[in-house]
A and B are shown apart, each in its own frame.
Chain A
Amino acid sequence: MSSHPATLPADARLHIEAGHSWAKLPIVAFVVGVAGIAGTFALGMGNTKQLYHSWLVALLYFLSLALGSLFFVLIQFLAKAGWSVVVRRIAENLAAPVPIFALLFVPILMGMHDLYHWTHADAVAHDELLQGKSSFLNNGFFIVRAVVYFAVWSFLATWYRRQSVAQDQTGDHAYTRRMTMASAPGVAAFALSITFAAFDWAMSLDPHWYSTMWGVWYFSGAILSAFALITVFTLRLQGAGLLRGVVNGEHYHDLGKLVFAFTVFWAYISFSQYFLIWYANIPEETSYFAHRMGNSWESVGILLMVGHFAVPFLFMMPRTIKRNPATLFLGACWVLLMHYVDIYYAVMPNLHHEGVRFAATDALAFLGVGGVYLGLALMMMRKGALVPVKDPRLPESLAFQNV
């Protein structure tokens, strides 16, 4: 009945082979990454406050891409999704480098004093509020929590990829059952860890301030940009001659729908956070937006409303946009760009109260962290098939059609 066959086409290319144009990409990414990191520290040592803030923005940005991809994998198993099997390995590969972020987190530990006001013992001594929070916001517990977060994420990301790759050999359904069983506690552990990580690493930059929406704000950006990143990688892999006859317009249509839907989710969360603070008008809550208004950060806020919500919402709405590779690629890249602006807007005003001030380390840290992360993800893509070839739901995914 369906116009798509339920088996992998015999001539489908599922591996990045030695001579392929993508085979050299990991090296290129690593070179860019190492050069970026070296440049960040060479240039940033004169102004360590700027250095560590630049680093934190880059870290939070690329970590959110990896964590969003991890959540994508978990949720496919939790929902026993059939449509997504052909793109799931790409998400697994994008999530698998999560452990490297534990290493990339070391500069944050080095820069704790420059980043986090609550680490200043002299400030806490004269600050009743920070004293009250000190049982949670103290150096030791902060590090212990970071270790726990990375342990949870690293275990989930590597375990899921290993199970999925092992299934490529045997086709044993027990792997799928095991991954499905693990997905529910996995999602719960993921939700708690990403929420508290967002509290620890971004919200505590302004330790007097708090928002209960903060964790879900970070999550909303992570999952939205992960959908966009998976879309971009799938499109580019197909552009390079791989996965032909495997991923088709039906899958792109669904990825596009997810990007579209989570654009609204991000806007809903971000606006809810702003709206409640604006309405209640309590000084300890309004300080966050007070720093971001009446100076050039206000333009960035408006840019986010228009560029992170209105533009992708209207652009991604028509069906033809989501089914056309060129327009879908454009929309997904735009979302990834805006997500960076969003993270930048959350972190940087803590350093530059007076307004937007770009630094060379912003770009260098972006290249450094991004190069290392994407280099590892690309290396994962070279190892093994780009599709879970023996997944029991693969035929369902290949024959998938939007009704």
Chain B
Amino acid sequence: MVGKPSVALAEFDTAGEIYHACEHVRDAGFSRWDAHTPFPVHGLDKAMGIGRSRVPWIALVCGFTGAGLAFWLQAWVHSSAYPLVINAKPYMSWQAYIPVTFEVGVLFTALGTLIGMLALNRLPQHYNSLFKSARFERSTDDKFFISIAADDPRFQGEETLRFLQGLGASHVELIED
């Protein structure tokens, strides 16, 4: 599929420029686009119009699932599946189950947060056409980039490039897949 446009890439020189450019891209109604900066730019998520992340909900559900499973497993093993008297305590000694319940709750929350974040970001990716651009390497150094994917309903090839140029980009290019 060589030759099909994949993404429009615009390069900016400062954090201030990309911040305002993001506001314009957001207001133009694009949905499949991203900003790439060498360091976190405060407030960029608002300039991009990104809503709240769904990761906390995943973490919450995972945390309660983990804590619940851990408690249930201990309660079931000790009081039903394999009841043993330990330290003269009753079979169903909820106090003894709390540390493991807490730890497994934390473990599930951490794993849910990590895996949820990766899944929502569609990571890991083995290939992304952005890396065809030699200039894009500087997004980890001293340059700021906006990329608009070709499958965005508002993407119009050369027209989009001109739009990005108009936002003050120091360089724009169309990357093919």
Query: Which of the 9-residue segments A39-47, A102-110, A172-180, A270-278 touches chain B?
Result: A270-278
* A135 contacts chain B at the CB level, 8 A cutoff: no
**Chain B residues closer than 8 Å to A1, beta-carbon distance:** 15-16, 19, 41-43
Q: Is A212 an interface residue (CB 8 A)?
A: no
**Do B98 and A275 touch (CB < 8 A)?**
yes
Chain A: residues with Cβ within 8 Å of the partner, total of 13
A403 neighbours in B (Cβ, 8 Å): 40, 42
B38 within 8 A of A: no
Bound together, the chains give a CA A403 to CA B46 distance in angstroms of 11
A281 interfacial contact with B, CB 8 Å: yes
In the assembly, what is the distance between CA of A275 and CA of B88, in Å? Answer: 15
**For A279, what are the chain B residues with a Cβ–Cβ distance below 8 Å?**
87, 95-96
Instruction: Tell whether A275 pairs with B95 under 8 Å between CB atoms, given A1-B16, A1-B19, A281-B87.
Output: yes
A401 touches B42 (CB 8 A): yes
Least CB separation from A268: chain B residue: B102
User: Would you call B19 and A278 a contact (CB within 8 A)?
Assistant: no
Q: Does A2 contact B (CB under 8 A)?
A: yes
- CA distance in complex: A199, B129 (Å): 65
Verify B42–A2 contact, CB threshold 8 A.
yes
Q: Which B residues, 64 to 108, have Cβ-Cβ distances below 8 Å to chain A?
A: 87-88, 95-96, 98-99
A281–B43 CA distance with the chains assembled, in angstroms = 54
Q: Please give, as numbers and ranges, the residues of chain B lying within 8 Å of A3 by CB-CB distance.
A: 43, 46
Report the bound CA distance from A281 to B96 in whole Å: 13
Checking A274, A278, A401 against B43 with a beta-carbon cut-off of 8 angstroms, the contacting residue is A401
* Given A1-B41, A401-B43, also A275-B16 (CB < 8 A): no
- Chain B residues with Cβ under 8 A from A271's Cβ? 98
CB distance from A313 to the nearest CB of B (A): 11
Complex Cα spacing A278 to B60, Å? 30
Which chain A residues lie closer than 8 Å to B15 at the CB level? 1
CA distance A279 to B88 in the complex (A): 10
Query: How far, in angstroms, from A271 to B42 measured CA to CA in the complex?
Result: 39
Check A278/B95 contact, CB under 8 A, given A2-B42, A403-B42. Answer: yes
Write the nearest CB–CB distance from A5 to chain B, whole angstroms.
Answer: 13
Query: Scoring B residues 24 to 62 as 1 if CB is less than 8 Å from chain A, else 0, what string do you get?
Result: 000000000000000011110010000010001000100
Contact with B along A265-305 (1 / 0, CB 8 A): 00000010011001101000000000000000000000000
Asked if A275 and B99 sit within 8 Å, CB to CB, the answer is yes
**Closest Cβ of chain B: how far from A316's Cβ, in Å?**
13
A230 shortest CB reach to chain B, Å = 25
Q: In the complex, A275 Cα to B94 Cα: how many Å?
A: 10
* A401 nearest in chain B by CB position: B42
User: Residues of B contacting A278 with CB < 8 Å?
Assistant: 95
**What's the least CB distance linking B85 to chain A, in Å?**
13
Q: Which residues of A contact B19 (CB under 8 A)?
A: 1
- Residues of A with C-beta under 8 A to B40: 403
CA distance A2 to B42 in the complex (A): 7
Contacts of A275 in B (CB 8 A): 95, 98-99
Does the CB pair B43–A2 fall under 8 Å? yes
Report chain A residues within 8 Å CB of B98: 271, 275
How far does the Cβ of B122 sit from chain A's closest Cβ, in whole Å?
22
Chain A positions within 8 Å of B46 at CB level: 3
> A204 to chain B: closest CB distance in Å?
27
Tell me the minimal C-beta distance from A130 to chain B in angstroms: 30
Residues of A within 8 A of B52 (CB): 319
Residues of chain B within 8 A of A319, CB atoms compared: 52, 56
Contact with B along A109-144 (1 / 0, CB 8 A): 000000000000000000000000000000000000
Contacts of B96 in A (CB 8 A): 279
Interface string of A239-267 (1 = CB under 8 A from B): 00000000000000000000000000000
Please report the C-alpha to C-alpha distance between residue A68 and residue B95 in the assembled complex, in whole angstroms: 30
CA distance A319 to B88 in the complex (A): 44
Cβ of B163 to closest chain A Cβ, rounded Å:
23
Interface centre among A1, A281, A401 (most CB of B within 10 A): A1
Q: Please indicate the chain B residues that have their CB under 8 angstroms from the CB of A317 in the complex.
A: 60
B160 CB to nearest A CB, Å: 26
- Bound-complex Cα distance A317 to B19 (A): 31
The closest CB in chain B to the CB of A280 belongs to: B87
Measured CB to CB, the closest approach of chain A to B56, in angstroms, equals 8
A279–B41 alpha-carbon span in the complex (Å): 51
Q: How far is the CA of A1 from the CA of B15 in the complex (A)?
A: 9
Pairs A–B under 8 Å by Cβ, sample size 26: A1-B15, A1-B16, A1-B19, A1-B41, A1-B42, A1-B43, A2-B42, A2-B43, A3-B43, A3-B46, A271-B98, A274-B95, A275-B95, A275-B98, A275-B99, A278-B95, A279-B95, A279-B96, A281-B87, A281-B88, A317-B60, A319-B52, A319-B56, A401-B42, A401-B43, A403-B42
Known: A2-B43, A3-B43. 14 other contacts (CB 8 A): A1-B16, A1-B19, A1-B41, A1-B42, A1-B43, A3-B46, A274-B95, A275-B95, A279-B95, A279-B96, A281-B87, A281-B88, A319-B56, A401-B42
Residues of B in contact with A (beta carbons under 8 Å apart): 15-16, 19, 40-43, 46, 52, 56, 60, 87-88, 95-96, 98-99
CB-based closest 9 A-B pairs: A278-B95, A401-B42, A1-B43, A1-B42, A275-B95, A2-B42, A1-B19, A2-B43, A403-B40
